Amino acid sequence: MTSAKITAAAAGTWKLGDLTVNRIGFGAMRLTGSAAFNHGTPSDRDRSTAVLRKAVELGVNHIDTAAFYFSSLRSANELINTALAPYPDDLVIATKVGPFRTYSGEWGSAARPDDLRGHVEENLRQLGRDQLDVVYLRRMGQDSIAEHFGALAELQEEGLVRHLALSDVEPRHLAEAQEIAPVVSVQNRFALDSYQAGTDDMLRICGEQGIAFVPFFAIAGAGGVRSATTAHDDEVLAVADAHDAGPAQIRLAWTLAQGPHVLAIPGTGNPDHLAENVAVGAIRLTDDELAGLNDLHRKAG
């Protein structure tokens, strides 16, 4: 399919609390190159800022980032600040806290609840903002998230954070957090070729409660932080051919088709790939195509 003149608005909108976003957003992790996680080399700075500006031109108004997205030469937050400040009024920037890395790039131990203020303040500083639109608590394996989420709720009461969200959680963690403060979004790993009963339950629960569900690695699949997968089932390739689209676009279209509350945050450092990702919002899978892809997803389990 041609991506000419297709904007993020083609995918429709959803609300993160009181903030309306187009369902096709942008994940900032790859802006710094996969070296952000000790793989590959840092991406070109000018190209990264050009991708960000192009994303906004194409109607993307939801960017997902984190202070721990950095390489030896690049910081995703700093690139976002440089490329887009002063920020458009409708731009929603979501960030994550919980994991952290030292300035040398080494991962630190799991954050304590009293560490989270520093994480929030560092994101504020890097992004040049007085308030963070959405902050995800990324669970780091702990059984209970009450203390950590409670610490973020206090920062929300102080006005440093507008809305709270969760990442890498089970339904019981969502219920635990909701006893403390509203949750506007859940971000879990979810992809066509990756089936986990708990994650699929979370997808359903979020839909029932009007909470956004934001999959990460939806295109990357098993490639994860390293790169997008190149392993595509014949079913995916056949649907791609029918829509004159790439298999990665079909994987993303299937993700969006899981419900109106599902938001996509594909990341790229390539302007052409960016346009292809945004164009996915115009793909409408048939009932038969969706059923076939859903079967493929279940078989992955």
Which positions are annotated as active-site residues? 69
Question: Which two tokens mark 119?
Answer: 């994480």
Q: How far apart (Å, rounded) are the C-alpha atoms in residues 205 and 174?
A: 10
Tell me the sheet residues that pair with 94: 64, 134
Q: How far apart (Å, rounded) are the C-alpha atoms in residues 149 and 178?
A: 10
Dihedral angle, C-alpha 52, 56, 58, 60, nearest 10 °: 100
Alpha carbon 232 to its chain's center: 22
Q: How far apart (Å, rounded) are the C-alpha atoms in residues 217 and 224?
A: 6
CB count within 10 Å of CB 88 equals 10
**222-248 burial code (b ≥16 CB/10 A, e <16):** eebeeebbeebbebbeebbeebebbbb
Q: Give the CA count within 13 Å in the CB-facing half-sphere of 209.
A: 20
